[in-house]
Amino acid sequence: MKIRHFTVAALLAAAGVTSSQVALAQSGDHLPWGAIKAGNKDGTIPAWEGGLPTSTSPAGFKKDSGFWADPYAADKPLYSVTAKNMDQYADKLSEATKELLKRYPTFRVDVYPTRRPVNYSPWYAENTVKNAAGRCKTIENGEAVSGCFGGTPFPTPKTGHEAMWNLILVNKGASSWTYGQAWYVDGNGNKVMTAEVNNRNQNDYFRKDLTAEQFHAKGGQYLMNNNSYTAPARITGEGNLQRKYTNPVAMPDKTWGYTPGQRRTRLSPDAAYDFPVATAAGAMLYDEIYAFSGKLDRFDWKLAGSKEMLIPYNGYKYLSAKPEDLLMKGHPNPDVLRWELHRVTVVEATLKPGARHVVSKRRFYFDEDMPDAVVVDAWDATGKLSRATLNPCAWAYDKQAIIHGGTFYFDFGTGAWYNSSILGGYKGLFIETDTVDSDSFYSAEGLSRRTQR
């Protein structure tokens, strides 16, 4: 497979970005989206050399099949981290990863060569530079943003709030269909398929037929999400709908639920913060969707520096793994996970005095190229590590967007864990760059029409 290399200047010039904006994007040896272009001193993290071109087509890749063949399938693990040697790598591991290694002799971290596949489109790079040049700002004490559109909101975040908005507005494409199955594994290793989900979402923030002004004039609606459940029988026909906004203070997020037995769609005001997701049996909270989802008002957010860290990355093998190949007592099968050494930004969230939440502190780790929370540690009110999230990411090389399978959620109190959407053996994930649904599709009436038996 031949990989073309691009300079940052050429990438942005193709998008019509001005010379002054190009200079700003390249200042400090950083890429437009904030990542360091150079590798590390040890050579264990390579320099960014253009990423994967959209023409990438590894063996077995079938465009728009719902899956992406692994462009790095020939790579072999460099080493493995286990409970026996984890002290040697302690400074590169999150607390949650250490806990999994200590608890389960069957868990390990297979570390592969670090690859940097990200290759954002010129349109995305242009908007990221414009955001960084002052168009994008936090308002409402960091709980909302204004002016941001089309790219990373804050390529070099200066506050914890800015880093969290990079996560909330991460590039997953303008719209997508996901067909997957949610699975729960209890503390004894019993496995239950809790939901088969048809998920449709649209993110107007990445619509190329809109301008920044048009996006915000429409209300800054960055996510419209519809879930329809097709199994198991007890929840077949149920569904829910979400709408989320860049200013949730002025335009509060909304969630609706449809119940077949009542044939009614109702607002679900409790579906936020630490309210448990029904299909996860307590292993996943509403504000843990996509690693974090919802309002930022209950926590104080602090940038806690950057570091080199082992994180789940380039998870192409995981994306196509079937439930029987993935599910184990206590943790996912390490054979299907790929870990790499990457530079991450650390954000710590501390529960505000007087605020209510089952978690008192969280620590988020954001990759530099994909500003996504790939690992989250969480502590309860007693200071005990109680929850964790692993969010393996990969790059949809033909769509120039970040992709995920389901996210892994761990409840250390019960030993249970949950995956929100296993794609392997089912239909997969379909990213669209031009298809736009009508607003009525994401209405309460539309939910009722689609979910009625």
**Is pLDDT of 156 > 90?**
yes
Written as six digits, the tokens of 336 are 């299907």
pLDDT at 225: 92
C-alpha pair distances (Å), 29 with each of 8, 136, 188, 343? 10, 22, 50, 15
* Helices of type H across 29-159: 95-103, 122-130
Residue 46, amino acid: P
Split at pLDDT 50, 70, 90, the class of 163 is: very high
**What's the CATH fold of domain 8-451?**
outer membrane lipoprotein receptor (LolB), chain A (2.50.20)
Split at pLDDT 50, 70, 90, the class of 136 is: very high
Gap between the Cα atoms of 217 and 37, Å rounded:
36
Written as six digits, the tokens of 215 are 């996006």
Q: Where are the beta strands (DSSP E) in 246-291?
A: 254-259, 264-267
Cβ(97)–Cβ(83) below 8 Å: no
pLDDT at 422: 97
If you search the block for the tokens 């955001």, which residue do you land on? 131
pLDDT at 15: 41
The 10s digit of each residue's pLDDT in 92-101 is: 999 999 999 9
Gap between the Cα atoms of 131 and 148, Å rounded:
6
Gap between the Cα atoms of 99 and 94, Å rounded:
9
Written as six digits, the tokens of 177 are 């269909």
Listed in sequence order, the residues at least 6 apart from 393 whose beta carbon sits closer than 8 Å to its beta carbon are 312, 313, 314, 315, 367, 370, 372, 374, 402, 403, 404
Q: CA angle, 167 as apex, 163 and 170 as ends, to 5°?
A: 125
Q: What would the mean pLDDT of 62-74 be, rounded to a whole number?
A: 97
**Is pLDDT of 376 > 50?**
yes
Gap between the Cα atoms of 352 and 394, Å rounded:
34
Gap between the Cα atoms of 415 and 413, Å rounded:
6
**Is pLDDT of 17 > 50?**
no
- At residue 249, φ and ψ (nearest 5 deg) are -75, -50
Q: What would the mean pLDDT of 71-85 be, rounded to a whole number?
A: 98
Distance between start and end Cα atoms, the chain: 47
Gap between the Cα atoms of 377 and 357, Å rounded:
15
Looking at residue 431, the DSSP 8-state letter turns out to be: E
Q: What would the mean pLDDT of 99-105 be, rounded to a whole number?
A: 98
Peptide bond into 155 cis (omega under 30): no
The 10s digit of each residue's pLDDT in 377-429 is: 999 999 999 999 999 999 999 999 999 889 999 999 999 999 999 999 999 99
Percent of the chain with pLDDT over 90: 85
Q: What is the DSSP string of 325-375?
A: HHB-SSSB-GGG--EEEEEEEEEEEEEPTT---S-SEEEEEEESSS-SEEE
The 10s digit of each residue's pLDDT in 265-319 is: 999 988 999 999 999 999 999 999 999 999 999 999 999 999 999 999 999 999 9
Written as six digits, the tokens of 289 are 């969707």
Listed in sequence order, the residues at least 6 apart from 384 whose beta carbon sits closer than 8 Å to its beta carbon are none
Cβ(283)–Cβ(410) below 8 Å: yes
The burial of 439, by beta-carbon neighbours within 10 Å (0-12 exposed, 13-18 middle, 19 or more buried), is given as middle
Could you tell me the residue ranges of all domains in the chain?
Answer: 8-451
pLDDT at 295: 97
Q: What would the mean pLDDT of 40-56 be, rounded to a whole number?
A: 97
Gap between the Cα atoms of 252 and 229, Å rounded:
25
Can you give the pTM of this predicted structure? 0.93
**Is pLDDT of 69 > 90?**
yes
C-alpha pair distances (Å), 260 with each of 235, 264, 271, 285? 9, 7, 19, 24
The 10s digit of each residue's pLDDT in 210-246 is: 999 999 999 999 999 999 999 999 999 999 999 999 9
Gap between the Cα atoms of 315 and 95, Å rounded:
21
